[in-house]
Amino acid sequence: MKNYKKNRQVVENLLIEDFAAEGKCIAKFNGAVVFIEGSAAPGDVVDVEILAFKKKKFYEARVIDTHSLSDKRATPFCSYFGTCGGCKWQHIKYEEQLQFKWQQVNDHLHRIAKVDLPTIEPIVPSKETTFYRNKLEFTFSNFRWFTQDEMGDGTELDRDALGFHIPKRFDRILDIEKCYLQPDPSNEIRNELKAFAKSKGFRFYDQKNNVGFVRNVILRTANTGDVMVIVQFAEPNMEDIEATMEFLKGRFPQITSLQYIINTKGNDSYYDQTAILYGGKSYIEERMENLTFRVGPKSFYQTNSDQAYELYKVAREFAQLTGNEHVYDLYTGTGTIANFVAHQAKSVVGVEYVAEAIEDAKINAQINGITNARFYAGDMKNVLNEEFIQANGHPDVVITDPPRAGMDEPVVRTLLRMEPTKIVYVSCNSATQARDIAWLDEKYAVTKVRPVDMFPHTHHVENVVLLEKK
């Protein structure tokens, strides 16, 4: 390690050995692990600056120079790569991304669960690796983030932006012209909305001082062709709000749901705000096989529609339904999985903490003519009592799709008490999934594992596990 001016510590010619959690890379130095941020790749030889040394166990570092590049690399396709904070693996070949995600699942299940495991099946790749998201949110800001190139060209800089938050900087927004995440007309709507706001002299929002007029825009695109646009305003200036809505309505007739929110709070969260319908329907619709799912302004729906279908097909396959089973779908959300498997089951019961989501689930069952699905809102560990089971039937199969934190231990204990024949565990975090599998090992054996890639160019991976009663 060399000491540079101002106590800067640099390690030269360090070999990047592998990927680590959260999309970082790892190397070894002085017998300790070095976690490296930025666009490094396994096989690179680099110089890094040490940013921190934690409890004499590991370093945190960033790349400052590269001597040789790995054959795992690809050429990033987005001009904002390395600045925006999204799509952090554009510089990695897609087949290498898939291999790491598979390895991550394998490592978590073996190292954390420490139970007997079958051979983990190949990961299901995403058919599309760009323009695959159905929802994005963009922020208006008068405090634009400038790149070194922009600051160095000598031109007068416009401080207004409409784009994404810079990582770890809530108050700085990277202006986006073209994003490769969401299909048309997402980019055109965002760019023309910004140009309209500028032409009208609207004040872009100031995150630090909570002042300004235009604040945020949410774009949802569906596989049916439906488009939802929700504009958040920070002031109740109805004349300018109506002018904005009329502009969008006239310029983009393909918008099927046009809404706005007046949000005067100190944050952009809109789940406690009223979305006001200006034009079209109050929802958009997604299709999956012969089912239609209604998605409102606050509804949760998997953000990669095509891969959600692949994920749910895996869950349904693992459940091995014959039409005679009582199925419980825990953490059902808006009932997507519950309604997806209902035609193959005798009955389905969906349980979810968020009451508004359960109302969406009931509507989705109704519009699809599903009569054998029931939905309940409440805390899982309190809802799933003996009285509930007697009223709704003992579950033969439980499908559970919890948030990243996994299932609370009391919920796992409830599953062990209910003793369904099969548990299909869908997870967006294989580490917490592995922890829960270790708890379930008391009565259940893992018989199938199949990862599914929902988010290309990121480190995130979904995983489906089948557990069968011993």
Query: So which residues are the catalytic ones?
Result: 428
Per the CB < 8 A criterion, the answer to whether 249 and 241 are in contact is no
At 305, give phi and psi (nearest 5°). Answer: -60, -45
For residue 458, which of 85, 69, 164 has the smallest C-alpha distance? 85
Per the CB < 8 A criterion, the answer to whether 433 and 106 are in contact is no
For residue 453, which of 76, 102, 120 has the smallest C-alpha distance? 102
Per the CB < 8 A criterion, the answer to whether 137 and 216 are in contact is yes
